[in-house]
Amino acid sequence: MDLKELKSSWTDAFSQPIMIAGPCSAESEAQMLETARRIRETQANVPIFRAGIWKPRTKPNGFEGVGVIGLNWLKKVKEEYGFKTATEVANAHHVFAALEADVDILWIGARSTVNPFTVQEIAMALRGTDKPVLVKNPVNPDLALWIGALERLLGQDIKNLGVIHRGFSTYQKTKYRNNPNWQIALDFKSQFPDIPMLIDPSHICGNRTGLADITQEAMNVGYQGAIIETHCSPDEAWSDASQQITPEVLAGLIGNLKMRNPGVEGFEGDMGRHRTLISDIDFQLIELLSQRMKISEKIGKLKKENDIAIFQPDRWKVITEYANQKAIETGMSQEFIEKLFKAIHEESIEVQNSIMINR
């Protein structure tokens, strides 16, 4: 079966947004039960409780998870508070232990998705399971690797699939712990609209302040739910303390979420008109860009005949200045206009380069 034909039905059992909450790591029975109890007491709609039992850590000698004993605590959470349970599996041993303990939902972490051997091992250990298996995006921005992991699972007859967008690691320091790179997740979504996608704002933000905005953005573009790290005493957490929130803060976040309709039923007319206008402007933009490139070719020929370097810093400075000025005048983001003009300029240089070397 092709991944494109897959219709996962596991989401039918939940109302949307499907919320998964619980601590980054299971630390003790008391911590797990208190977190579960307090999530329940808020009455927020959280059907699934998460906890990491085995923790992938960047460096050795950190807290690497409590191991199989934590599976008993997940069971208690299920029995006492009626949650479905979820945990990360990173090898075949984890899979066998988690299946044995009847964990309801399993996920493959970002550090495992990058490794085809690991994904294959997990997929084979899970062969034929009905339990939902969620695949986090790989740490590096590689859509094919993400899709490949799902194909490996489907290859083992695992059909209840979903994905988790947890952001991508970068060397540059940004305001995010993991850059969301929305385009990659949206490309996934447009190729596989029937595979449910959840947001993991905790690992994208790495702090507490950005969680609500990232979650709302995900709902705005039609994600089906979120997985949010929630701890009874976040500051004392043994892993990812800075990004975990209390059950009460979680409930506030969920209460403020606005859900969006997946389709445009009811306002097709207005939507249609706006979309026609947008398409029309897009065609004009492309037409203008093509004219700009043709002029750029002429300049390239002049530069070649006169042996002038392609990149002229003074001219580039003039362009960035007027583009910036125009961005201010029109109320557009200066950062966006700068990015756009860099891309156009790069393409111009490419065009002139092919003229110079007579490609």
Residues 74-103 that bind ligand PEP (CB under 6 A): 88
| Partner whose binding site includes residue 196, from ligand PEP, Mn ion, none (CB under 5 to 8 Å by kind) | none
Q: Does 231 bind ligand PEP (CB under 6 A)?
A: no
Q: Is 109 in the site for ligand PEP (CB under 6 A)?
A: yes
Instruction: Choose which of 18, 24, 66, 232 interacts with Mn ion (CB under 5 A).
Output: 24
- Asked if 78 contacts 105 with a C-beta cutoff of 8 angstroms, the reply is no
> Is residue 70 within the footprint of ligand PEP (CB under 6 A)?
no
Distance CA(298)–CA(307), nearest Å, equals: 14
Q: How many CA atoms lie within 13 A of 240 on its CB side?
A: 30
Residues 222-241 that bind Mn ion (CB under 5 A): 240
- Taking CB under 6 A as the criterion, the residue among 152, 203, 208, 231 binding ligand PEP is 203
Q: Which is nearer to ligand PEP, 70 or 109 (CB)?
A: 109
Q: How far apart are CA 288 and CA 333, in angstroms?
A: 21
Do the Cβ atoms of 141 and 181 come closer than 8 Å? yes
Stretch of residues binding ligand PEP (CB under 6 A), selected from 79-87, 109-117, 125-133, 181-189: 109-117
Exactly one of 166, 189, 208, 231 binds ligand PEP (CB under 6 A); which one?
166
Q: Which of 110, 149, 228, 327 binds ligand PEP (CB under 6 A)?
A: 110
* Residues 6-25, interacting with ligand PEP (CB under 6 A): 24
Which residue, 162 or 201, has its beta carbon nearer to Mn ion?
A: 201
| CB of 90 or CB of 126, closer to ligand PEP | 90
| Positions in the binding site for ligand PEP (CB under 6 A) | 24, 52, 56, 88, 109-111, 136, 166, 200, 203
| Positions in the binding site for Mn ion (CB under 5 A) | 24, 240
